[in-house]
Amino acid sequence: MQCCIGVFAINLLDAARLQRGLRELAIRDPARAAAVRSRAHQAVERLSPEFPGDPASGVLGQTTRDRQRFESFANEEPCPALDPVGGTCDLYDSRPMTCRTFGPPVRAEGGGLGVCELCYQACSEEEIAACEMVPDPDDLESGLLREVEKRTGKRGDTIVAFALAAA
């Protein structure tokens, strides 16, 4: 699964969703939840020495150097929520926004249209643009993120492995 390999930044709201999903999975299927936790802890152990930020908190660094290091960081690392046997997401209903919007064309911060090359083969740029999706048209995510930051007193992005290892 191309979309489940390589780390990407998630915000605190995504982390909270993942952690809640892992707690719910532990009630429904303790063995599966334990496997996700184990994969997350193993990933944190592998990734910590080169983590472009604070490995103790899991918060990504904000310096230019940290952001540059993150661009090539752990691009081959499988997501801890990915079941290596079945190839499915053990936390599908709680997945981060990036995962929820992977596939359909979504406008990136720089203005370009991000699209899964596996989904839109042999399509013209116009056909792809006609399928553009706006993931949060009312910007509800920003308000929810501010609430989580205020409630927890934390700020900054992390990655899935650190979020799940902290659950």
Q: Is the pLDDT of residue 25 over 60?
A: yes
Summarised one tens digit per residue, pLDDT across range 125-154 is: 888 778 777 777 788 889 988 998 898 888
Residue type at 74 in one-letter notation: A
| pTM for the structure as a whole | 0.80
**DSSP label at residue 93:** G
Residue 79 backbone dihedrals phi, psi, to 5 degrees: -65, 135
Angle between helix 12-28 and 30-47 (nearest 10)? 140
State the Cα–Cα distance between residues 94 and 26, nearest whole angstrom: 13
131 and 105 Cβ atoms separated by less than 8 Å = yes
Q: 3-state DSSP call for residue 125?
A: helix
The pair of three-digit structure tokens given for residue 148, joined into one six-digit string: 């989580």
**DSSP label at residue 13:** H
